[in-house]
Chains A and B, each alone.
Chain A
Amino acid sequence: MISGLLRRPAAASVLSLIGVLAFYVLIGGVDLGTLFSAASWVNYAARIGIVALPVGLLMISGEIDISIGAMIPAGAMTTAIISGHYELPIIFGILGALGIGVIVGTINGVLAVRTNVPTLIITLATLVGMQGVILAGSKLLTGSASVPLTTPDWAKGVFGQLMFNGSHQVLIVWWVIFAVIFWFILHQSRFGNWIFAIGGDKVSARNAGIPVDRMTILMFIGTATAASFVGMCHAMQFNSAQVSGGMNDIFNIIVSVVVGGVLLTGGFGSIPGVFVGTLTFAIVNKGIDFTAIDRNWSNLIIGVMLLVAVAMNESFRKLALSAVSGKAGSSTQNAPRGATTGQSAQ
């Protein structure tokens, strides 16, 4: 039963979370009650978590998207320019932010399926290009790199409000909702099987009649739109949008997904894993303020955690694969099914 649990993709992320908490309690002397009632790390987890979910899907299908780093500020700036600077109704700002996500996601996706260029490079190009477009566009249209935004109450309540006496952002609720939706897509609907199949072996997936290209484009639209959604909510939350580098977000989101047990080579991973991976990352990154450990060491902890988590994933996956091949003698395409096999073995 223990090996069945270990074989699940989320196992390493749960162990990472336990390990980090144990480390913070034993070495950092953190008070768990204070940590769990604090909002800073949950807010941060929601920010990267909403993007980490579709990025996880994309990585399970064997692709990567780093343009998200530019799309968070892009969503914020679009909302602020449309509804703040030009004072159009907020609904246009919302549609604009989501629209720019759909556009950039479509560009990424179409380039990904039409060419042989690795998606890391395609999205690096859109990352750099979008950074320029946002900054130059904002200076051109508004004359400044920071745009104020006043949001009507209803929109602020839905997208950019503080809850529970003013420290937890409403974005957290969105994160949980998105997690449920993505859990359903990946683990309950047939789309999930398709995504695993694409990540396991793209050619076989296509031969099996899976609309690989359409799925890939849709997933790229998912990542870019999720990122611009986060940006939009932040603009409403903080009543302004700044053009700031999203470089850190890129690596932080990828690390969250990988700690969550998703294989970069595709075909393996789970939504609960990504969710726990994001929580773990946020606790390391923001929770360190509640410990006696100097915050300057947080990157060291993140790096070690990432390497340990990946190493654990590797060995657990080998367990899963050997279990599958022992039972059915099947190929790598069945790797994700190893998770389900483990589940039923409990």
Chain B
Amino acid sequence: MTTQTQTRGSALLLGKLARRPETGSLIGFVVVFAFFAALGGPVFMGAPGWSSWLNIAAEVGIIALPVGLLMISGEFDISVGSVVPASSMITAMLAGHYDLPALVAICAGLGTGLLIGLVNGLLVTRTTIPSLIVTIGVMFVVMGLTLGFAVLIKGSTSVSYVPDPTTKFLLGQFINNMFNVAILWWLGFAVVFFYVLHISPLGNWIFALGGDPESARNAGIPTAKVTIGLFMASGFCAAFVGVAQVMTYQQAQVAGGQAFIFNSIMCVVIGGVLLTGGAGSILGILLGTLTFAVVNQGVFFAALDPNVGSIIAGALLLAAVLSNDTFRALALSAAAEKG
């Protein structure tokens, strides 16, 4: 009798675990990590290996967090790919070309991100145009403005800037000459977003928005404000990465943010966020980002053709979405049984 309840209990626990949105991403991460640890050997397991993929994870991860929140609420943000170079250009231009104090330049860079996010949010909430199209349009506008003004003012597509030691220490330092300080910022952002999504009432609103925007509005949730806020968050985070890049590499480039668009979406989806909105977790997004980064960097340590990483990433993405689909069906059926 007792054993029966126990097995039933453990079966329930397993079922619960399998239904948690991050289980799939945890399994994915463990498998991928074990694969590259076996191929990459001690170098991959040592500090150089860890730092190489954690540095990548931090950069894309800071953007993946708000992009994930947006996707949970049912929206896309493609424009992050243009906000990164735009904000780094503005920061480098103000501090490097016009010799303004670093703080002013950083605030201007971050402000650019907030402003672009505000424009995205207003366009999405005030019109019925899908956010995918709105943010593609804004992306082209921002790319054009960045390139146009960079060439107009500086006459070149890159601006260099040597940050003072304090700024460098805060935003662009390599700890032990290996670990980028952005990793710590990433964790900080993760804590903030964890609080927002899983503890504060705002999180419930975001889930409700993704589940059914109409009902969410009827329930008294200020849907427009939440959406605008989320777009501003993704603009801000993308701008933060841009600013941190200037401080790290002491240079701002006009191009080069496009990889963030699909990479951040992949991290989020591998992390178990449903694109149809309404499901996902910060832990899952973190795991998805780690998985993506391990694949991205692991191929170099495993002496594989780097392009194999691309194949693995594509396969992972497919596996992730297909298993999420199954998990969600499981979770929904369990919920239906209870109710």
A binding-site residues for B, Cβ under 8 Å: 111, 115-118, 120-122, 124-133, 135-136, 139-140, 247, 251, 254-255, 258, 264-265, 294, 296-304, 306-307, 310-311, 314
Determine if B137 is an interface residue (Cβ-Cβ < 8 Å).
Answer: yes
Within 8 A of A (CB), among B174-192: none
Query: Does the CB pair B325–A115 fall under 8 Å?
Result: yes
Q: How far is the CA of A314 from the CA of B129 in the complex (A)?
A: 8
29 interchain pairs, CB-CB under 8 A:
A115-B325, A117-B275, A117-B322, A121-B317, A124-B262, A125-B315, A126-B318, A128-B310, A129-B310, A131-B310, A132-B307, A132-B311, A132-B314, A135-B310, A136-B311, A247-B258, A255-B136, A264-B130, A264-B133, A296-B148, A297-B148, A300-B141, A303-B139, A303-B142, A307-B134, A307-B138, A310-B133, A310-B134, A311-B129
**B residues near A111, Cβ cutoff 8 Å:** 318, 322
Separation of A265 and B127 alpha carbons in the complex (Å): 14
Which residues of A sit under 8 angstroms from B129, Cβ to Cβ?
310-311, 314
Are the CB atoms of B130 and A265 closer together than 8 Å? yes
A299 touches B310 (CB 8 A): no
Q: A117, B311: Cβ atoms under 8 Å?
A: no
Residues of chain B in range 265-322 having any CB-CB distance to chain A below 8 Å:
265-266, 269, 275-276, 305, 307-315, 317-318, 321-322
- List, in ascending order, chain A residues with CB within 8 A of B311's CB: 129, 132-133, 136
Please tell me which one of the listed residues A118, A299, A314 contacts residue B275 in the complex, with CB atoms under 8 A apart. Answer: A118
Say which residue of B140, B152, B262 sits within 8 Å of A299 (CB atoms). Answer: B140
Q: Could you mark each residue 112-147 of chain B with 1 if its beta carbon is under 8 Å from any beta carbon of chain A, else 0?
A: 000000000001000111101110111111111101
Contact between B127 and A314, CB atoms less than 8 A apart: yes
Q: Is the Cβ of B305 less than 8 Å from the Cβ of A302?
A: no
**In the complex with contacts A132-B307, A139-B307, A310-B133, A121-B141 CB distance below 8 A:** no
B38 at the interface (CB under 8 A from A): no
Quick check: B325 and A117 within 8 Å, CB to CB?
A: yes
With contacts A299-B141, A300-B140 taken as known, whether A131 is within 8 angstroms of B315 at the C-beta atoms is no
Given A116-B276, A298-B144, A302-B140, decide whether A126 and B314 contact each other with a Cβ distance below 8 A.
yes
Interface residues of B in 143-170 (CB under 8 A from A): 143-145, 147-148, 151-152
List the A side residues contacting B325 at CB < 8 Å: 115-117
Contact B309 A132 (CB under 8 A): yes
Q: Which residue of B lies closest to A293 (CB)?
A: B148
A296 adjacent to B147 (CB under 8 Å): yes
Contact B141 A132 (CB under 8 A): no
B73 to chain A, nearest CB (A): 15
- Contact residues in B for A140 (Cβ distance below 8 Å): 305
Establish whether residues B144 and A128, one from each chain, have CB atoms under 8 Å apart when the complex forms.
no
Residues of B near A128 (CB, < 8 A) are: 262, 266, 310, 313-314, 317
In the complex formed, the residue of B with least CB distance to A298 is B144
Which of B123, B148, B317 is A307 in contact with, Cβ under 8 Å? Answer: B123
Q: A118-B276, A251-B136, A304-B141 are in contact. Are A124 and B151 (CB under 8 A)?
A: no
B157 and chain A: residue at smallest CB distance: A296
CB–CB A125/B321 < 8 A: yes
Interchain CA distance A115-B326 in the complex, whole Å: 9
From residue B300, how far is it (CB to closest CB) to chain A in Å? 14
Cross-interface CB contact of A311 among B127, B266, B314, cutoff 8 Å: B127
Residues of B within 8 A of A125 (CB): 314-315, 317-318, 321
Nearest-Cβ distance from residue B121 to partner chain A, whole angstroms:
14
Nearest-neighbour CB distance to chain B for A280, whole angstroms, equals 14
Which residues of B have CB within 8 Å of A265?
130
Q: B173 to nearest A CB, angstroms?
A: 32
Q: Judge whether A306 and B309 touch: CB under 8 Å.
A: no
Given A136, A254, A303, which contacts B144 in the complex, CB threshold below 8 Å? A303
Contact B147 A299 (CB under 8 A): yes
Question: Pick the contact of A303 from B127, B138, B258 — CB < 8 Å?
Answer: B138
Q: Do A129 and B275 contact each other (CB < 8 Å), given the known contacts A135-B310, A255-B136, A297-B148? A: no
- Looking across the interface, which residue of chain B has its beta carbon closest to that of A135? B307
19 additional A-B residue pairs with CB within 8 Å, beyond A294-B148, A304-B141: A115-B325, A117-B325, A121-B269, A125-B321, A127-B314, A129-B310, A129-B313, A132-B310, A251-B136, A296-B147, A296-B151, A297-B148, A300-B140, A300-B143, A300-B144, A300-B145, A303-B142, A310-B134, A311-B129
